[in-house]
Structures are given as C-alpha cells and as structure tokens.
A = this chain, B = another copy of it.
Amino acid sequence: MDFSRLLADRTKGMEASAIREILKVASSPDVISLAGGLPAAETFPVDELPDLLRAALDRYGSAALQYDASEGFGPLREALVPHLAARGVTATADDILITSGSQGALDGLGKVLLSRGDIVAVEAPTYLGALQAFNPYQPAYVEIETDDDGLVPVSLDRILEDQRVKFVYAVPTFQNPTGRTLSMGRRRQVAEILQRHDALLVEDDPYSDLRYVGEPVAPVKSLAPDHVVYLSTLSKTFAPGLRVGLCVAPVELQRWLVIARQGVDLHTTTLSQALAAEYIRGGLLDARLPATIALYRARRQALIDALEAYMPEGFRWTQPEGGMFIWVTGPRDLDTERLYAAAIARGVAFVPGRFFFADPSQGRSTLRMNFTAAEPDVIREAIRLLADAIHETSRDSTQGVVADER
C-alpha cells in the first residue's frame, strides 16, 4: 500500500527526523552524551521499589492494577496537595489532573485549545517537546524575547496587545533549554499582564524542586491562579519511566482535558500512580531529594568549571540555579549543527540550539548541554573534546572562506 496518500494534512507538520537522527547518534555507546535530558539513574529508588510496591498493594490491593478514573488515582491526587502547596500552588485534590508525563498535559492542551492557525506565544528558545506536542494541531507561533532573567515582560505585553494569542507557553524556572529563571519581579509583571489581557499562561514547571543555589521563587500560578494552567511531573524527583505528570487547570478547562485524555489513553498507568502516592505519602520523595540535589549540584559545577577551563574566547553560557541544562552561545558565525558532526567524531554530543526555536532559522550559534546524566570527570572530558572540535571547526571554517574567495 502507498501510505503517503493516507496521511492527514497535519502529519507532515509532525516531521521531526533531523532531531531524531541527531539523538540517535548521541545514544551510541562510544559517545559521551550531553544531548539528552535524562535524570541520573542513581537517583531512582531502585532499592526502595520492592517495599514501595508492597505498601501500594497492601493499601490499594488489586485497584492498583485495575482501570481507573481518567482524572487520576485518588490517593495520588490527595498526596500531591501538600506537595504542591509547599511550592506555592494552592489546589484541592479535585483540581489536580494526573497525566502521562507532563507531555500528556501538553498534548491535551493542544488538542482542546488549538485550531489550525491559532497563535501560541512561546519563549525564544523554548522546550522542544512542547512544540512537538502542539505542532500536530497546526498552530502558528509567535516568539517572546528572552534574556538572562527569562522572558521579557514588555515583549509579552506587546504580543498580547497586537495579536490574538490562544495561550502563552513558558518554563519560568530553570528553563529547558537555557536553565534561566524568570525573576520574581518579572513574575509579578507577567501575572499583571496576563490579567490585564485576560490571557492564559501554560506554566510548565518540571524542575523547580531541583534548586542548587539561591532561593525559591513563587510560581506564576500563585500570582494569577485563574489565568494559569500549571504543569509538573514526578519524572525528575521519582522516575521518568513511571510517566506521571500533573496539571492544575481552572475547572472549566479541566473538564475538557479529562475528555481529551480519555480518548488518548483512558488514564495514566494506575500502578505508577499508586507507587507515586506511596512515595510521596511515605516521605520518600522529600527524604531522597537532598541527595539528588547534592549530586546534580556537583555536576552543574563540573560543567561550569570545564566550560571556563576549555571553551575558547567568544563563547558564553548561562549560570542556572537549578534544573538540568546549560545554554551555550558561540560566536555569531558558529554553526552548531556543523560543529555537531565534528563533536560526534570526537565522541561527544549536545543538541544544536536551533531545534529549540519555533522559528528554526534562529539559534544557529547556540547549543544545549545536559549536566545531570554524566559524572563530573566525564563532563570535564566531554568539554575538553568539544573544545577540540570547536578549534578544528573554526580552522576548517577559515579554510572554507579562503576556498570560497579563490
């Protein structure tokens, strides 16, 4: 059969082969990958899991294996109430919708809110997975300017003034890919802007528990609760393979999200939710978090130190207070996709920055590095290899110019 004639008109917009090919190379065992966004396997409660399972089966019995409500497993929704309150998100158990990772909430929001051509305002750069979730619903994107303090409020204000935006999507804390955090002053401005324009923000907050330096900042949700859908996940603080995310949305929107999720997967894995309920209730999440933070703090420092030691002039990078990523910006003429090939040849991988822009003509001289998945020595070696690749590429590039001039 010729399947190309059967594809929906939305499907071509889902093409993502370039980044897929890039990450395929990065997963080779000969390559040190700073490309992915994997939590360190050492942080997973592998040893505690058998006891957690016994606790879940003792408490919930076969209900932990049965079909369950699309809204989520009751005891997990209950357990999340104080967990979210500690972050400044006030929600009842009924307000909390459990999704299959926060990716599930992103897809649900796209499905429920986006007609073809609707405008989504995103940070430049933004989380690639959000673009992948929204793209099948064929929106148009408008990019919000960002700087070291996160998105620029005046840019957001102007966009909401000039255009009919369906929703704003942002990762205000330890952003993926930049690691930047929206300052508290700006959060207040953003809340005021949202309220004044009666606009909706999707606040994606997967990383805020992973703070290594500085003081916590309140989520935008706490400042403009009626204008914010708040997303988070247990992927970074329990384990990503359980696929448990959550979404706190105004009730009129939650109702539609539930119906959408029902069509997509009926509900999130019950066993994962039962284990997560016990993990939070039993205090394991809070007890284990400091060790995870200590591990990642050292890796973050190793990456910053290595960048300072090895990177040539003309490169600068963010200094994230938490999360999983550092964003590197090279000289204006650097092409990080070209650099990628040279880096892979030397055994190190990153993600070229352009994939994180809704407009992929941007970000040519930028790249994202993960620091949670590799040990400090390995990180240092990776940056040494990368610096070699940069030197090699810039030599080739000079030769290229000469060749062109002949």
Contacts and interface: CB of A to CB of B under 8 A. Distances in A.
Interface of A: 1-4, 6-11, 14-16, 20, 36-39, 41-42, 44, 46, 49-50, 53-54, 57, 61-68, 100-101, 103-104, 107, 111-115, 118, 129, 132-133, 135-137, 166-167, 198, 200, 226-227, 235, 239-243, 250, 252-253, 256, 259-260, 262-272
B44 A7 contact: no
A30 B198 CA distance: 45
Given A50-B53, A240-B65, A242-B65, A166 B113 contact: no
A114 B137 CA distance: 12
A194 to B, nearest CB: 9
Contacts of A7: 112-113, 256
A83 B238 CA distance: 32
B263 A136 contact: yes
B62 A16 contact: no
Contacts of A111: 8, 10-11, 136
Nearest to A228: B1
A3 B250 contact: yes
A111 to B, nearest CB: 6
Given A1-B250, A65-B239, 18 more contacts: A1-B226, A3-B256, A4-B252, A8-B114, A14-B259, A14-B263, A38-B67, A41-B63, A44-B65, A65-B242, A100-B269, A104-B265, A136-B263, A241-B270, A242-B269, A243-B267, A265-B265, A269-B269
A109 to B, nearest CB: 10
Contacts of A115: 8-10
Contacts of A113: 6-8, 11
B41 A62 contact: yes
Nearest to A251: B3
Q: How many copies of the polypeptide does the oligomer hold?
A: 2
Contacts of A136: 111, 260, 263
Given A7-B112, A66-B240, A107-B265, A1 B46 contact: no
A1 B240 contact: no
A252 B3 contact: yes
Contact of A167 (B6, B14, B269): B6
B66 A41 contact: yes
- Name the 9 nearest CB pairs between A and B, nearest first: A241-B270, A41-B62, A65-B239, A100-B265, A65-B241, A132-B263, A3-B252, A269-B269, A44-B65
Contact of A263 (B2, B53, B135, B253): B135
Contacts of A264: 100, 103-104, 107, 133, 264-265
Contacts of A137: 8
A401 to B, nearest CB: 38
A68 B38 CA distance: 10
Contact of A256 (B14, B20, B54, B62): B14
A26 B42 CA distance: 45
B44 A50 contact: no
Nearest to A265: B100
Nearest to A36: B67
Contacts of A107: 263-265
Nearest to A37: B67
A103 B44 contact: no
A241 to B, nearest CB: 3
A15 B260 CA distance: 9
A242 B64 CA distance: 9
A114 B103 CA distance: 22
Contacts of A200: 1, 6
Nearest to A243: B269
Contacts of A14: 112, 256, 259-260, 263
